[in-house]
Amino acid sequence: MSPVKTYGLTHIALRVKDTGRTLLFYQKVLGVQVMYHQDGFLQVQTPGSNDILVFEEGDGEKGNGGGILHFGFRLQHPHDIDAAANAILLAGGIIVDKGEFIPGEPYLFFKDPDGYEVEIWYELIDEK
């Protein structure tokens, strides 16, 4: 029996306090574009990608993802890590950790307005 073939992870859905606040934060940090928006429900996409972030307002627990430790975005250029840190701070996020996994692979972890931990990093890719 062969494994199920997919195009990879398509989206993650997170409970948030306020979709408007969340939208502004992710627009400032990642430049997300709105795909669908109604009261209490929002779908956005990062430019040039096929990913989707879904934000749903609710009274349940926020920022403690019931097993989700963090989710991440891969940088196109390693030198953009400092610009990412600035955008996060200006948007009201909190930098949790910043460094390099190995030389040439910078990363940072931050908390968004609802307390979710997000990673931005660059991965060296072997050209084969």
CATH number of the domain encompassing residue 55: 3.10.180.10
Q: Is residue 128 part of a domain?
A: no
Q: Is residue 27 part of a domain?
A: yes
Angle ∠(50,54,58) on CA atoms, nearest 5: 175
Q: Is residue 126 part of a domain?
A: no
Domain extent for 73: 11-121
Going by pLDDT thresholds of 50, 70 and 90, the confidence category of residue 56 is very high
Strand intervals (E) in the chain: 11-16, 33-38, 41-45, 52-57, 71-74, 94-100, 106-111, 117-121
Largest Cα–Cα separation, the chain: 50
Q: What is the CA radius of gyration of the chain?
A: 15
pLDDT in tens, 86-109: 999 999 999 999 999 999 999 999
Q: Beta partners for 71?
A: 118
Q: Is residue 127 part of a domain?
A: no
Q: Is residue 104 part of a domain?
A: yes
What percent of the chain is helix, strand and coil (3-state, nearest 5)?
20, 35, 45
Please name which of 108, 110, 118, 105 lies closest in space to residue 78, comparing C-alpha atoms.
105
pLDDT in tens, 14-24: 989 999 999 99
pLDDT at residue number 2 = 63
Asked if residue 128 has pLDDT above 50, the reply is: no
3-state secondary structure of 5: coil
Q: Is residue 6 part of a domain?
A: no
Q: Is residue 22 part of a domain?
A: yes
Q: For the chain, what is the domain count?
A: 1
Going by pLDDT thresholds of 50, 70 and 90, the confidence category of residue 125 is confident
CB 62 within 8 A of CB 17: yes
Residues making up the chain, counted from first to last: 128
Average pLDDT over residues 37-58: 91
Q: Is residue 2 part of a domain?
A: no
